[in-house]
Chain A
Amino acid sequence: MAISPGYFIGEAWSSFRRNWVMSLVAVTIIYISLLLVGTFFLTGAIVNRIATSFEQKVSISIFMKDGAAPADVQALQGDMQKDPRVDSVSYVSKTQALERFKERTKNSPQLVEQLRGNPLPASFEVKLKDPRQVAAVVKTIKADPALAKVIKNAEEDVHWGQTIVENLFAATGIVRLFVLVFVILLLVVSLVLIGNTIRLAIYSRRKEIGIMRLVGASNGFIRTPFLFEGVFQSVVGALLASGTLLAAQAFLVPWLQRNLRFLPVSISGTTLAQLTGLLLLSAVVIGLAGSGAAVRRYLKV
């Protein structure tokens, strides 16, 4: 059949204009639903980023005994740097350690004055690529024979805050799971809601579909304008929701950064792109599925 896509687009547009109240209701509900999904998606991204920043503070400290042979120290450093799980190993000398101590206690200088000489040990600070592997890396380091030569006691001189780290990971894990489940639930609810709205809009036009069948319109011919319209409505709703969210985050994120200095609040460009993609993709899927399912019901011969 030689019918141009232009016909269907024209049909979808004119029916959008003529049934604008139903269309407006559909677009509004799609907009609000996707806005909710998007809000939680962004909140989730921020929470995830905060959780990650806490996790990245996890590091391993190794305190060395005074007078350890430089060759042994270098051997240990070399071993650790070779480990693919290790991100960086930095050496803090006795002098640097004293400087840091002075810096931290500059409000009570008498503390430093009481020190005789420099009692602070030199140390390594080991950062990991994936902080969750901290326990495994510690185990490897403790098994390194070079370690025993530079420290007094493996139990006391290798610090990684085991209990705190485990609690931290448990907490961030729960938060992440919660956010993920919530976003998925919200997405499902929106899909059902939007699908229903589109179905309602089509239900209000079942007479039209009956007439189309009567004058000999093929099923594909009847379905296509409704699909175009469903997708059109969903995409408009999704674009509005994305636009609102992008504008809102451009305003809110700097505000949060000013007012919650202790939390690293930020949203990456990738996240924003993902958000827009997610909303548009769900819009197209919902538009097609919702209107397809609804029209199908009235096409039964």
Chain B
Amino acid sequence: MISMKNVSKVYIADKPPALSDIDVDIAQGEFTFLVGHSGSGKSTLIKLLLREILPTTGEIIVAGQDVVHMRNWKIPFLRRNIGCVFQDFKLLPNKTSYENVAFALEVIGKSKHVIRTQVPEVLKLVGLDDKAESYPDELSGGEQQRVSIARAFVNRPPLLLADEPTGNLDPATSLGIMSLLNRINKTGTTVVIATHDREMVDSMRKRVIALENGKVIRDQSRGVYGYGD
């Protein structure tokens, strides 16, 4: 699903690179945590996968597409294969939950009929079928994150990227979000989560890739957050 070979990213020439010589392979259907301190390169890695930025060197394949040599006009089509969840939810404030989710389908030209059946379905999956007509500012943080997960997942992308999805949420709510992401993973979707939520990582016992200063320092298949740090 994801293949990164010798990937480096240098933002400013004289400064140490944000990522250096990353080799990562993530198979289809895997559930992977990407852990590390702030500035370790997690977000840079996510941005590379989304083709928001280009690597300085190296090759990246995401969902079968060569991200590095991709034409600009093809980027939207890459992103349709990647569901995205962010710490700040990134919901459209002037659309209801339903419309926020429906938007992801409208964008790829799905018919009204498809929208009318899939949106309620996915809202039910995330447990928000009763909040469909609420605007984001009428929802709690956990509920907003559920809407953003519903939006990311509604067109059933093969890959779901989450950048600090529980960063703004209390532990109990975070647990709910994680189990939701786990359930989505069970449907066959590859899930990659960048986080520094130690408890969460430790309790899930999933693959953990640890980054430090732009390098992979650990890659364990049933890992924990880290030792002592």
Contact = CB atoms under 8 A, between A and B. Distances in A.
24 contacts: A2-B111, A18-B94, A207-B90, A208-B94, A210-B90, A214-B50, A215-B79, A215-B80, A215-B84, A215-B103, A215-B104, A215-B107, A215-B151, A216-B77, A216-B79, A216-B80, A216-B104, A217-B107, A219-B73, A221-B76, A221-B107, A301-B52, A301-B72, A301-B75
Given A301-B72, A301-B75, A216 B108 contact: yes
B92 A208 contact: yes
Interface residues of B, number: 24
A240 interface: no
Contact of A19 (B50, B94, B108, B151): B94
A214 B114 CA distance: 21
A1 interface: yes
Contact of A7 (B73, B84, B106): B106
Contacts of B52: 301
Query: How extensive is the interface on chain A, given as a class?
Result: 20 to 34
Contacts of B80: 215-216
Contacts of A221: 76, 107
A214 B107 contact: no
The 5 closest A-B pairs by CB, nearest first: A216-B79, A216-B80, A217-B107, A18-B94, A1-B109
A284 B109 CA distance: 27
B12 to A, nearest CB: 20
A218 B79 CA distance: 10
Nearest to A7: B106
Interface in B150-186: 151
Nearest to B51: A301
A211 interface: yes
Q: Which residue of A15, A211, A217 has the most chain B CB atoms within 10 A of its CB atom?
A: A211
A217 B73 CA distance: 11
A66 B72 CA distance: 91
Given A218-B73, A301-B72, A301-B75, A212 B107 contact: yes
Contacts of A7: 106
